[in-house]
Amino acid sequence: LIDHLLRRRVILTLGKGGVGRTSVASAISLLAARRGLRTLLMETDPRRPVADSYGHRPGLEPVALEQPHLWSLFLGGKESLEDYLRMAVPGPLLRKVFASSLYQRFVNAAPALRELTMMGKIYHEIERRPKTKLPWDLIVVDAPASGQALGMLRMPFVAHRLFGSGLVASEAAEVAGFFRNPTKCAIILVATSELLAISEALEIHDELQKLHLATSAVFFNRMSNGMFDASDIDRMIAAISRSSRLKHLEQIAEIARADLRRRIKERRALAMVQRRISAPLAIAHEQLDCSRRKLAAALATEFAAGPESLGGDC
Ligand SMILES: Nc1ncnc2c1ncn2[C@@H]1O[C@H](COP(=O)(O)OP(=O)(O)OP(=O)(O)O)[C@@H](O)[C@H]1O
Ligand SMILES: [Mg+2]
Please give the full DSSP string across 16-33, using - where no structure is assigned. Answer: STTSSHHHHHHHHHHHHH
Model confidence band, residue 314 (pLDDT cutoffs 50, 70, 90): very low
Ligand in closest contact with the CA of 148: 1
Strand-pair category, 70-74 with 63-64: antiparallel
Helix (H), strand (E), coil (C) string for 37-92: CCEEEEECCCCCHHHHHCCCCCCCCCEECCCCCEEEEECCHHHHHHHHHHHHCCHH
Looking at residue 235, its pLDDT comes to 80
Spacing of C-alpha 26 from chain mean position: 8
For 213, half-sphere exposure in the C-beta direction (CA atoms, 13 angstrom radius) is 28
**Please, what is the average pLDDT of the chain?**
87
Beta-carbon contacts of 126 under 8 Å, excluding residues fewer than 6 positions away, are 9, 10, 135, 136, 139, 178
Ligand 1 mutation pick, 12, 13, 19, 23, max ligand atoms within 8 A of CB = 23
Q: 105: how many CB neighbours lie within 10 A of its CB?
A: 10
Read off the pLDDT of residues 124-180 as tens digits, 9 standing for 90 and up: 899 988 889 999 999 999 999 988 899 999 988 888 887 777 777 888 889 999 999
Closest CA to 175 of 134, 133, 130, 211: 211
- Give the lowest-confidence range in 196-210, 273-287, 296-310: 296-310
Ligand 1 mutation pick, 295, 299, 301, max ligand atoms within 8 A of CB = 295
Question: How many angstroms does the Cα of residue 20 sit away from the middle of ligand 2?
Answer: 7
Helices (H), ranges, the chain: 2-6, 21-34, 49-53, 77-88, 91-99, 101-108, 111-127, 146-163, 167-180, 195-210, 230-242, 248-276, 292-304, 307-311
Strand-pair category, 138-142 with 39-43: parallel
Furthest C-alpha separation in the chain: 85
Closest CA to 10 of 147, 106, 121: 121
Ligand 1 site, CB within 6 A: 17-23, 45, 145, 221-222, 284, 286-287, 292, 295
| 218 bridge partner residues | 189, 281
Q: What percent of the chain has pLDDT over 70?
A: 91
Atom of ligand 1 nearest to the CA of 285: 1
Helix (H, G, I), strand (E, B) or coil at 193: coil
Q: 197: how many CB neighbours lie within 10 A of its CB?
A: 24
pLDDT at 312 > cutoff 60: no
Tell the burial category of 143 from Cβ atoms under 10 Å away from its Cβ (0-12, 13-18, 19+): buried
Q: 277: how many CB neighbours lie within 10 A of its CB?
A: 19
Backbone φ/ψ region at 166: left (φ over 0), alpha (ψ -120 to 50), beta: left
Looking at residue 298, its pLDDT comes to 94
Looking at residue 297, its pLDDT comes to 95
Nearest C-alpha to atom 8 of ligand 1 is from which residue? Answer: 20
Encode 235-244: b = buried (16+ Cβ within 10 Å), e = exposed.
ebeeebeeee
Strand-pair category, 63-64 with 39-43: unpaired
Read off the pLDDT of residues 249-277 as tens digits, 9 standing for 90 and up: 777 878 878 888 888 888 898 898 999 99
Model confidence band, residue 313 (pLDDT cutoffs 50, 70, 90): very low
Looking at residue 238, its pLDDT comes to 78
On whether the CB atoms of residues 267 and 252 are closer than 8 A, the answer is no
pLDDT at 308 > cutoff 50: no
Closest CA to 188 of 118, 314, 282: 282
Encode 69-103: b = buried (16+ Cβ within 10 Å), e = exposed.
bbbbbbbbbebbbbbbbeeeeeeeeeeeeeeeeeb
Beta-carbon contacts of 255 under 8 Å, excluding residues fewer than 6 positions away, are 228
- Give the lowest-confidence range in 4-13, 39-48, 220-229: 220-229
**Does an H or E element contain 282, and which?**
strand 281-285
